[in-house]
Amino acid sequence: MMKTLLQLLKTTFVILLLFCGIGGTIFLGLGLLLSFHAGKPEKADVIIVLGGDDGLRVNRGAELYKAGYATRLLLTGIDKKYYRPDRPNWRERRLMEQGIPRKAIYVDTLSKTTWDEARNTGKTMKEKGWKSALVVSDPPHMLRLHHTWNRSFRESPATFVLVATSPEWWHPLLWWRNETSYKFVLSEIKKNVFYAVMYY
């Protein structure tokens, strides 16, 4: 009886360790999962700098422009209610301060969500005759962008490459140690589930 009980306890302990190991691996791997689809920039017709920006995305877009990857930029997620074409918003000003001419900067004032950005960008690219784009956002945003843009561009001949910023707060394995990346990852997990239900 005692031997059977001990064997049962050992088995239970091993199973618990196994589940803890699997759970820990999944937890630690969330950062890698979310950022995996970031690619290397390549020549394109336009650089798309997504909204929800604190400056990192605009700066990355400027770097890509100055490195010669594209000759124009499109800023998305700018609120139409507050935008005045004759008064550049802070993201436009940031680009111009870095030497990018105003005529190279396009603005999307219609998009409020990641899905809107993909759909409206697709329409703009078709209207302008742009065939390829670099899409700039933060690392944890990449998984949702990958599925959203692929879904939106499914019937379009246009192509895109996702390009990530390089935030100081981001590490794909140690994301849980930083408050900013921790909140971002948890938020993206929820949003990925929501998008999977609503759009994919």
Task: Give the confidence band of 48 by pLDDT, cuts at 50, 70, 90.
Answer: very high
Q: Tens of pLDDT along 115-174?
A: 999 999 999 999 999 999 999 999 999 999 999 999 999 989 999 999 999 999 999 999
Contacts 24+ apart (CB under 8 A), 97-101: 98/59, 98/62, 98/66, 99/66, 100/62, 100/65, 100/66, 100/73
Domains: count for the chain: 1
Tell whether 95 is covered by a domain: yes
Tell whether 17 is covered by a domain: no
Task: Give the confidence band of 4 by pLDDT, cuts at 50, 70, 90.
Answer: low
Chain mean pLDDT for the chain:
89
Tell whether 41 is covered by a domain: yes
Tell whether 155 is covered by a domain: yes
Task: Give the confidence band of 14 by pLDDT, cuts at 50, 70, 90.
Answer: very low
Res 79: pLDDT: 87
Residue 9 has pLDDT above 70, yes or no: no
Residue 57 has pLDDT above 90, yes or no: yes
Element (H, E) at 47: strand 46-49
Tell whether 157 is covered by a domain: yes
What does the alpha-carbon distance between residue 118 and residue 158 come to, in Å, rounded to a whole number? Answer: 12
Full DSSP string of 131-180: -EEEEEE-GGGHHHHHHHHHHHTTT-S-EEEEEE---TT--TTTGGGSHH
Residue 199 has pLDDT above 90, yes or no: no
Residues 6+ apart with CB under 8 A from 47: 61, 64, 65, 69, 70, 72, 73, 74, 133, 134, 136
Res 20: pLDDT: 45
Res 21: pLDDT: 46
Task: Give the confidence band of 198 by pLDDT, cuts at 50, 70, 90.
Answer: confident
**Could you tell me the residue range of the domain that residue 102 belongs to?**
34-166+175-198
What does the alpha-carbon distance between residue 117 and residue 139 come to, in Å, rounded to a whole number? Answer: 17
In CATH, what number is assigned to the domain containing residue 191? 3.40.50.620
Structure tokens at 156: 């379009």
What does the alpha-carbon distance between residue 164 and residue 87 come to, in Å, rounded to a whole number? Answer: 29
